[in-house]
Structure 1
Amino acid sequence: MYEKIIKESTENRELLQTKDKCDKYDYLAAVACGAVGGLVDIFLVGAPGESVLGGWTDAQIDKTVLAFARKVGWKPGEGKENNISSAIGYLERNYKVNYDQRSVSDIGGLNKDKLSGMTTKNHHMKSIAHSPDPVGLFFSILNQFTNTSAFISQGELIYIATDGSGLQGGNFIAKIFCGIANWFGHLMSDVAGSSGAKGRGTGIVMPFYELFGFCTFGKFDVGKDRQDLATIATRAFQNGMDFRFGLAQAIPVVITELAIRLIWAIRRRFQYHMPLRECIPSSQYADFRIMLFLGNGTLCVIDGIDAGIRSGGNMLLLFMRLNLVAWLRLVMLVLKEVCIRVGLGIDLQREIEAYKRINEALQEYLYELKRIDAESFKKETEQYNIVIKIFESAENAEELNKKLFHTYESLKIEKAWQGDFDEHMSDKNGTLEFE
């Protein structure tokens, strides 16, 4: 069993070191999958306000908010079972936070001037605790603990003091748990817009989108004006580029990657007849990584060309038409491949894959152990232990022989000789037959 585990680990390392190469069919398949994703992005995603898939993702978020509100106690009145405003209003009342200042009129003190551009349409982006990512969670807990609000404005992180009852809970762990639950519940109340919003409303940002608030560089053409990237990102959010639209942007990326994974796995299984476990898409295979890179690259090229043509040189329109999810995925794939090529993280990846193989072998071994009849094994070993004690009680060779013969008879073991043992061994033609 140990030899098998070592062999599995060694095979895994050798597999990681092999230089898988793409053939022309891999390249064609990857580009074709990326092109399909690009066409979906052009015709079904587009820009906020004119997106077919955007309307669908809005509806799915509404259903999710309604389901969540019912789970936490919302009991709609007659005829309001699907009233999203009623559900949002219930969540807003039950998941209040101290950092939910909606505009500059809700803020006092010295920092009021620095937040002069904050309105009800962009406060979910400027209030960093409203972000559905680890950054937002950290600042939400911090703000709830310290009764403060943190905002990103004019490229700076700004704090203001707030009035609040603080986190609930009898100890530190309980307060953290309540703070996380309150953060998530409040996000659910905002993700589909506010209860009093007219029309679609302004939701919450995509994960890490709030960091665009620090990008106060560049002067890009927006109509007759020239604005920095932070301002453009804020205006795009106000015009509908929120979490719901981010889900719509993720659909072409998912289609592209799933298609590539399926084609790659089918070819390895049915064309090259590889074992099933080696047909599971993983970053340890260089050809698979290259296919992902080409597929997502093709998607981004098509998206970029479409956005450039339709924007007419207006940076705001260009930004709103770019599929940020696809471009982020492409950047991640490039950085990962660069790290692999220069050797960063390879040893860790090898160790992880090796331990996965070892774990599979141990699981196999455990399965075999479970199949053993433990009771029968216990009874059998008990008999052997009794026999050993009988042998240990013998005081000389003659007594040991007698006990040995008696044990043979009691266990019904066939002897390998016939008649007297000494006479049998004296016969040159005698043989021992073990059954």
Structure 2
Amino acid sequence: MSNTEILLLEKDHNFKVKYEIINIENSSDNELKKYIKNEIRDLNRRIEDNNLKIQDYNEQIKKFTNQADAVDYTVAIGSGILAGIIDSFFVGSFSLGEGKAWSNHKVNDFVMNIAKKNGYNGKKKNGIVKYRLSGAIKYLEDKFKIPSDNIWSGKNINISTKSHHLDDLAHHPTPIGLIASIVTQFTEKAYLQNRFGKKFSLEITETGLIGNTIYEKILAGTVNWFYHLVSDMSGSNKTAGVGMGIPGPLLSLVKEFSMLPGINKTNLPELLDKAFREHKFDLRSELAVFHQLRKQAIPVILNEVLIRVFYFFSRLIKEYREKGNFKDIEWENTIPYKNRTLTRMLTISTGTFLAIDLLDAGIRSGGNLGAFILRVNFVNIGRFTLSCYSEYKMERKKRKIEKDISEIYSQQLSLSNVKLSYNIVGMWISTKEAVEKIDKLSYSIQNSISYIENSNNELKENMDKIGNSIDIMKKERKNEKLLKNLKNIISEF
């Protein structure tokens, strides 16, 4: 074992190779044994940790692996067909007119109720109090004014009575609209953008609408802003119920996006202006769209509930059959939430629903593209897209986990090789000790052989001397009794 060096290979968590040289000549056997024992203990710990990781990853892979059977697929297809039939016969086509009728009624009632709560008492005629929407709007407009309301008038900046609710940030029912209203109180400037994307900061002329203290500014920027938007929801008092309202949250957010540098150079501001002014896509229109989408959501929700309920009870029955009682059931295996099997069933059911819906729309529209689009269930299209995206995400996670498992197995192999190397070092140390002990034993045996040979030679010489002495004594015939005793002693050897 002289001049012997053992090369050990180890890998850290980043799989960067490290080398460690142990020179046996420079350390005592006990030190090396202690060092190797500690290293092997550390390796065993790391190997065990990796085994636990692999076990955890295997559990996760089950979650991201599709385990649907023929019954699951049959139920998913059947649920999709049922949802498609309900959509065809009970939901019908997308009717923006029906939605607008509903939203106009709701918005008008909302404006009237807000006005009454803030002191609007109607108009008394012939002893009878009558509440008119135009009176409610005028009451709120007079009571809750905002400084930027007509700031654009006479400025020749391509902003009109029909577009200023969209162009003025303080008329947006969004967080940015609220911020713009409060900032106006402190800067005394209104912030607008016309249909060509050009932005303006106009000085406030009616300073009486600006608060004097911080509290008054914030109060005016919030309370007046909210109630003034309510007064504008149903149009002006002259065009109550039919006039231009305020933009909805969706259109407002897109308008705010169009004010970003670079985006304002595109034709997006002009398209938004056209949608608001010419097509009157205001808050009431957005509510009408959401109302129709809510109606379309009924078969989509029904399909979702059917699939999730079936998944829960089918897995519960399966768990009960395997465990034999409810006490040992693993409830996490029955929860209809975020697993690949459930996602696959939802993808198939929503896909079936979509196929039935498109087929029905094609037949009922008679080749008219507009009628075809209005009969399509957009909510289900969104749900089908979401299911497909979930499938994609789960597949990516599954592949990542499989890659991590492969890397851990590679690391386990490296750690096992290192452990084997340490065991080989320990074997060489033990072999070295055994050889040294054998050498010592051999040396002792050799010394013992020489000692025995010398003793035998000495004994032989002594016996020869005794024999010679006996012969002399026989010749002289002296001490016969002594000779007899000596003869008996010698005969014993």
- TM normalised by structure 2 equals 0.48
Q: Is the 8 A contact 1:140 1:179 kept in 2?
A: yes
Question: For 1:144 and 1:138, how far apart are their aligned partners in 2?
Answer: 10
* Equivalence for 1:101: 150
Equivalent residue, structure 1, for 2:244: 202
Alignment of 1:7-406 (within 5 A): 17-19=63-65, 23-26=73-76, 29=79, 33=83, 43-46=93-96, 51-78=97-124, 81-101=130-150, 104=152, 106-108=153-155, 112-113=156-157, 116=158, 118-153=159-194, 154-163=196-205, 164-165=207-208, 168=211, 170-172=213-215, 175-197=217-239, 200-213=242-255, 214=258, 228-238=267-277, 239-255=279-295, 256=297, 257-273=300-316, 286=343, 290=347, 309=368, 333=386, 337=390
CA displacement at 1:302 relative to structure 2 = 9.6
| Counterparts in 2 of 1:264 and 1:330: CA distance versus 1, 3 Å | closer
Pick closer, same or farther for the CA change 1:261–1:182 going to 2, 3 Å: farther
Percent identity at matched positions?
A: 20
Query: CA 1:287/1:136 → structure 2, altered by over 3 Å: closer, same or farther?
Result: farther
- Identify, as 1 or 2, the structure richer in helix: 2
Following TM superposition, by how much is the alpha carbon of 1:259 offset from its aligned partner in structure 2, in angstroms?
3.0
The CA deviation at 1:59 is 0.3
CA–CA separation in structure 2 for the residues paired with 1:28 and 1:179:
55
Take 2:247 and 2:212, find their aligned partners in 1: how far apart are those partners? 29
* Cα distance in structure 1, aligned partners of 2:359 and 2:139: 43
- Seen in structure 2, the aligned counterparts of structure 1 residues 311 and 342 have a Cα distance that, compared at 3 Å, is same
Deviation at residue 130 of structure 1 after TM alignment: 1.4
Distance change >3 Å, CA 268–CA 328, structure 1 → 2: closer
Task: Specify the SS of the correspondent of 1:139.
Answer: helix
Contact (CA 8 Å) 1:42, 1:303: kept in 2 or not? no
CA contact (8 A) 2:178 2:222 kept: yes
**2: CA distance, partners of 1:130 / 1:148:** 14
Bigger drift between 88-97 and 143-152 goes to 143-152
Q: Distance in 2 between matches of 1:216 and 1:327?
A: 34
* Paired residue type of 1:53: G
Residue-by-residue CA offset, 1:242-269 (whole Å, 9 max, x unaligned): 1112112113433425334433443345
- What secondary structure does 1:23 align onto? helix
Rounded to whole Å, the distance in 2 between the matches of 1:88 and 1:332 is 43
- Specify every segment of 5 or more residues in structure 1 that has no aligned partner in the other structure, as ranges: 1-9, 219-227, 313-317, 344-435
Tell me: CA distance 1:131–1:290, structure 2 relative to 1, closer, same or farther (3 Å): farther
Mapped partners of 2:236, 2:116: distance in 1: 17
Deviation of residue 77 (structure 1)? Answer: 2.2
The CA RMSD over aligned residues, in Å, is 4.8
Aligned-partner Cα distance in 1 for 2:370–2:388: 29
Deviation at 1:200, TM superposition (A): 0.9
Letter in 2 for 1:207: P
Kindly indicate whether the alpha-carbon contact (under 8 Å) linking 2:235 and 2:245 is maintained by their aligned counterparts in 1. Answer: yes
CA distance in 1, matches of 2:355, 2:265: 29
Contact 1:296 1:329 in 2 (8 A): no
1:37–1:253 contact (8 Å) kept in structure 2: no
1:271-330 CA deviation, whole Å, 9 max, x = no partner?
Answer: 554899999986677458758975997899799998x95569xxxxx9xx899x969967
| 1:119 alignment partner, SS class | coil
SS in structure 1 of the partner of residue 202 of structure 2:
strand
